[in-house]
Structure 1
Amino acid sequence: MKRSIQGIVGIASILFLLASTACAATKTEPNQVSSSPAASNQTTKVATDKQRVVKSSKGDVNIPAEPKKVIGLSVVYPEFLYALGVTPIAVQNYHSEFPSYLKEPFKHTVKTGLAQTPNFEAILATEPDLIIAPTWWSDKDYEQLSKIAPTVLLPQRDNWRDELKDIGEVLGKKTLAEKVIQDLQNKEADAKEKLHALVGNETVMYMMIMAKELVVYGENIDRGSFIHKELGLKPVKDFPQSEQSVSISLEKIPDFNPDHIILQLDDDSSDEVQKRYKALLESSLWKNMTAVKNNHVYIMGGKEWFSLGMSPLADSNAVDDVLRAFNKNAK
């Protein structure tokens, strides 16, 4: 699930505040439960009244029993939080605007940008009472983050469903996490039946236009699995089954020649992506493909499908997009 990130955000402006926080802290690390007997008794009482103790990659952490101002670091953690009924107060954002399914609920959510080092100053300004992040994303920043608010680092997972369950466990919403997963499975199963009625065994190729390349996704990668397994759309016959995705030239696209093409623009606002998209549309090779001649090409935006295969919200939104596109084509 990791995506490339660039830029370094400075933290000099909050060193004084962090130093002050550190001075006021006890000798026990801010987020950790003390191992001394007396402190353990006190911690148990506090945990019962206003706090809970949860497990993290850094050990047990005291968090508010009912956190009100939560931040989920990494691009997809905010989506997990919202799926569990928690609107984050701040997010790290890849795009300048939120996808449509988050635009309204996140209208008051602070965007802190995306960088190798988080914008600690912006995070501090929101006064969070809980920070949740995956270890692979925030392990290097744990010390600074834990001085701002109780910080829970969770293990890296290969499947977003396990990530959602981890966060549900932290928030005391494990049952809700299971329901979110089951509801999406039901929605996908229903969509799978409808799509089979619309296209049967006709082949579908899922392709993305990126700034530097054209990529075709197979069944063995998150987003490709969503299209071909969860929704049951038949992949092209000649796609190499050992590959998750393949980068192809314009000249090679006709070799697949699918009945339908789901075409995603990686970044709608990118000049490079738009230039490559225009070249594709003007190509005689493209125009002579079966899907193109039959008007079976469905355009999907990069911002809307950015988290596809990595988030229940993104997947649910994509189900609607695919059904809408194929239904429209059938009329």
Structure 2
Amino acid sequence: MRQIRTGMAFSMAIVLVLVMAACSNNNGQAKVAATAEADIRVVNSEKGEIKIPANPTKVVGLSVVYPEFLLALGVTPIAVQNYHEDFPAYLQEPFKDTLKMGIAETPNFEMILASEPDLILAPVWWSGKDYDQLSEIAPTVLLPQRDDWRDELKDIGEVLGKKDIAEKVIQELAAQEAEAKQKLDELVGNETVMYMMVMPNSLILYGDQIDRGKFIHTTLGLEMIPNFPDKDLSLSISLEKLPEYNPDHLIIQLNNEDSAEVKQTYEDMLDSPLWKNMNAVKKNQVYTMAGKDWFNLGMSPLANRYAIDSVLQAFEGNSE
């Protein structure tokens, strides 16, 4: 009888140990499941609701503007599409370790895969056709096409849980723009300003109906030349036509500083008597800006900030 009781007690002890182990294991699984759920967020996209990491650390932003939006929100992308071989001056330091993938109609899927992203962000107009392939690499959020970069920034802020930061970026830029506009009004007043891009064998003049021209003439309030056609976004003119548009100040850029054709067009212009007789040239009020540094002008808060500083530095330096 004693042996039977001892055996029963031993059996009950084993059962108790197994039950406790099972409970412990279930609690552990529950904790793992809860942790996994806490690490996931559900966000809206052009493809419906998408599950993404709650705190992504390796983000790819497709299109040439999304990387700037990410950086403005405090996120350095791990890989970007780049139009120029070198980043604009204001991105060179923060993007020093960022992978350049170039730019093409189709993303470089191999390079995106090699960067091991945990999140891909892309505008639907750019990457809608590539969604299936991108989503096989990492959760991919397609965002709507917007007319205003501020709405794009808010969309990305919403996805990343940084909408408050997006609003702050917009407000701070608006304050910087207002301050710069007042300073430039004091420096320039009603004197006319023309914004010109040197292209291969032609010159492009920008009016206030296109992003970059609107930045110069509306955001910063610099007076346009009076004979620029009201409804035209830009004008393509030859060197011979340049004297017809004769501003007091001239902001000039080379479309591609590495292009031999662009450089030749620029040098031919500088050697021309037509150029030398312009008001802005004779008054030493010509301001040359780097083309690639203004590539996203009017489309990104970081590009706009940099351009504001560049314009102020040029006009303030000229007044000294």
Secondary structure of 2:294's counterpart equals coil
Is contact 1:47-1:62 (8 Å) kept? no
Give the count of matched residue pairs. Answer: 288
Structure 1, unpaired ranges of 5+: 1-43
Residue 256 of structure 2 corresponds to: 267
Secondary structure of 1:309's counterpart equals coil
Match for 1:191 among 180, 183, 187? 180
Structure 2 length as normaliser, TM-score?
Answer: 0.88
Residue 147 of structure 1 corresponds to: 136
Residue 107 of structure 1 corresponds to: 96
Residue 170 of structure 2 corresponds to: 181
Question: CA RMSD, aligned part only?
Answer: 1.2
- Higher Rg: 2
- 1:260-304 CA-to-partner distances (Å, cap 9, x unmatched) read 000011111111111111011111111101001111110011111
Deviation at 1:47, TM superposition (A): 7.8
Secondary structure of 2:293's counterpart equals coil
> Relative to structure 2, which stretch is displaced further, 91-100 or 44-53?
44-53
Deviation at 1:213, TM superposition (A): 2.6
What letter corresponds to residue 119 of structure 2 in structure 1? L
- Aligned partners of 2:285 and 2:242: how far apart in 1? 15
Alignment of 1:82-97 (within 5 A): 82-97=71-86
Match for 1:76 among 65, 70, 75? 65
Alignment of 1:199-238 (within 5 A): 199-238=188-227
Secondary structure of 1:263's counterpart equals strand
Deviation at 1:249, TM superposition (A): 1.2
Is contact 2:173-2:301 (8 Å) kept? yes
- Aligned partners of 1:112 and 1:145: how far apart in 2? 15
Distance 1:47 1:285, change over 3 A: farther
Is contact 2:202-2:239 (8 Å) kept? no
> Relative to structure 2, which stretch is displaced further, 206-215 or 290-299?
206-215
Equivalent pairs: percent with the same residue?
66
Between Structure 1 and Structure 2, the one with more helix by share is: 2
- Aligned partners of 1:326 and 1:181: how far apart in 2? 25
Residue 118 of structure 1 corresponds to: 107
Is structure 2 residue 48 aligned with structure 1 residue 59?
Answer: yes
What letter corresponds to residue 114 of structure 2 in structure 1? A
Over 2 Å off, 4+ runs: 44-48
- 1:160-217 CA-to-partner distances (Å, cap 9, x unmatched) read 1111011011101111101101101100110111111111000000011122531111
Secondary structure of 1:304's counterpart equals helix
Residue 256 of structure 1 corresponds to: 245
Distance 1:56 1:45, change over 3 A: farther
